Amino acid sequence: MTQATDTSSRTRAQIADRTLRKDPWWRAPAITATLLTIWVLYATVHVFLGRWYWVPKYHYLTPFYSPCISGSCATGSASLGTWFGKVPSIIPYALVSLPFVLGFRLTCYYYRRAYYRAFWRAPAACAVREPHKTYTGETRFPLIMQNLHRYFFFAVILISVLNTYDLTQAFRGPNGDFGLGLGTLIMLINVMLLWAYTLSCHSCRHITGGRLRHFSAHPVRYWIWTQVSKLNGRHMQLAWITLGTLMLTDLYIMLVASGAISDLRFYN
Amino acid sequence: MGYQAQLRIWRGDAGRGDLADYKVEVNEGEVVLDVLHRLQATQAGDLAIRWNCKAGKCGSCSMEINGRPRLACMTRMSTFGENETLTITPMRTFPVIRDLVTDVSFNYAKAREIPSFTPDPATKPGEFRMQQVDVNRSQEFRKCIECFLCQNTCHVIRDHTENEGAFAGPRFLMRIAELEMHPADTADRREIAQDDFGLGLCNITKCCTEVCPEHIKITDNALIPMKERVAGRKYDPLVWLGSKIGRRQVKDTPKVPGKK
Ligand code: SF4
Ligand code: SF4
Ligand code: FES
Ligand code: FES
């Protein structure tokens, strides 16, 4: 039991150092900041480039341009039809999906941790004093909007279906029959991992079963929850791996589309 | 075999103090607490340390070793180089009583504020049956030894004393999560979790999880699920609409008296 001690005269140990840690605690946030910056720069450039996103011969479409809804989209690349006329590429061709994909990752519980640590430095590492005078966390606008993560999750489920459709198209060779190339395999791996990332989401874990108090009364949802929880344990890894596979898929399609390399075909 | 370790230990009381240098013998297999005890027995008889079990189970010996919040009894000397100077300080977030001993009553005060287990009054004692799957989640949280290392490390209060009133800290937000996941509990603490216990201040940067000696996944299994529950209660437009047209009834646990 605690006694009613007089705590008023006591203060914390006055230690001036920001941290007494001697291990390279600055390394992880520095790596995170570097990798995220590289990725964002790369993606921004290609999204606004307006070319090299579609390989008509093998029906490869990069995820950064799916669904291609602009009137400027190459013939055959617009899986959902064109929604408006020809516009300059400053309007991204995948205007309807990109904000949701971006919002999903921005409000993702893992990425939040990553950028709060790497960029906002609140805190850069544990037991390292943060540079800010005041702190309100996620209690106010704009950060209170992080609570809408589940809506981005629902939107991204639909986008993942679309990515899967794009993948089925990549199994068609030049004459429309079955075909298989290295690009198809890269897209296959990317789509599988995107599904794994999306389903490992904390909101998904909550919606599928986590919100229940009484697991034994809902055996099916409990089972689904246990499966999602297993994936969820790998959420951070999947967040990074899918950044990698997204970039790789896009880069490969860009190189093939621009003619810099030709697709390695296994069949047709 | 044995060697002389260099220690720098924060000595002082009422917050004022300084790092003092010592050289202490270390033998194979020892932990930091052993070395502190030897120092106490041979050179600094008045050194204050709190400890009890020496087995990582009582949660008394929390301190900061080379800047990292740890249990002194579970930190092996072999994890440091023989020539390395160990800097040992009290937990930074709590007031110092003396030397390495801090006053952790902040945590007991927070514990008392949380509305306790509220079973349905219609259920008679002994009537309720629970399956293992219903208690798995709570059992993880029950491993807590109340060392308060998580509370100490959380930047919300460690770096911002002004949040001490508004924030219960990871250990007690986890307690709320435990009750919210309890199949026989009927209270709804989602709103007060956010408004009175400061769940929104947590930015899920996971330092509590990183330092927990019981390896409880505080952030993934308690705080984030709790944030999702709160989102469902307070920030979900569809749920809000449902409550307006009367499809869902929400009965919040009343505000904590004396809060805001
Ligand atoms: S995850 Fe939240 S509660 Fe845990 S240390 Fe970080 S801010 Fe504090
Ligand atoms: S949750 Fe872990 S770190 Fe926090 S008080 Fe309990 S045992 Fe200690
Ligand atoms: S996508 Fe990361 S938590 Fe939802
Ligand atoms: S002495 Fe009990 S936990 Fe260290």
Residues 6+ apart with CB under 8 A from A223: none
Domain assignment present for residue A233? The answer is yes
Closest to B91 measured CA to CA, from A8, A124, A15, A26: A15
Q: Could you read off the pLDDT of B237-258 as tens digits, one per residue?
A: 887 787 777 666 667 877 766 6
Mean pLDDT of all residues in chain B? 94
Q: What was the pLDDT predicted at B126?
A: 86
Domain assignment present for residue A200? The answer is yes
d(CA A110, CA B45): 47
* Contact between residue B4 and residue B15 where contact means Cβ atoms under 8 Å apart: no
Mean local confidence (pLDDT), B41-67 = 97
Closest to B230 measured CA to CA, from B207, B206, B259, B252: B252
β-bridge pairing B85-89 and B3-13: parallel
Q: Do B12 and A13 touch (CB under 8 A)?
A: yes
Domain assignment present for residue A253? The answer is yes
Asked if A158 has any chain B CB less than 8 Å from its own CB, the reply is no
Identity of the residue numbered A90: I
Which residue matches tokens 């287990």?
Answer: B117
Range of the domain at A198: 25-267
d(CA B173, CA B193): 7
Q: Do you know the residue count of chain B?
A: 260
Q: Do B159 and A12 touch (CB under 8 A)?
A: no
Alpha-carbon distance A139 to nearest alpha carbon in chain B (angstroms): 5
Check if the interface score ipTM surpasses 0.90: yes
What DSSP designation does B189 have?
-
Which residue matches tokens 């993560």?
Answer: A149
Number of domains chain A is built from = 1
pTM of the predicted structure, to 2 decimals? 0.94
Residues 6+ apart with CB under 8 A from B209: B150, B216, B217, B218, B219, B220
Of A112, A122, A210, the CB nearest to B228: A210
Interhelix angle A149-169/A182-199, nearest 10 degrees:
160
Instruction: Show which of residues 88-147 on chain A sit within 8 Å of chain B, judged by CB atoms.
Output: 109, 112-113, 116-117, 122-123, 126-127, 129-130, 132, 134-139, 143-144, 147
Q: Which residues of chain A are under the pLDDT cut of 50?
A: 1-4
Domain assignment present for residue A85? The answer is yes
Q: What was the pLDDT predicted at B129?
A: 87
Domain assignment present for residue A9? The answer is no
Tell me phi and psi for residue B69, to 5 degrees. -65, 120
Q: Which residues of A touch B189 (CB under 8 A)?
A: none
Domain assignment present for residue A103? The answer is yes
Domains of chain B (ranges; CATH) run: 3-102 (3.10.20.30), 105-244 (1.10.1060.10)
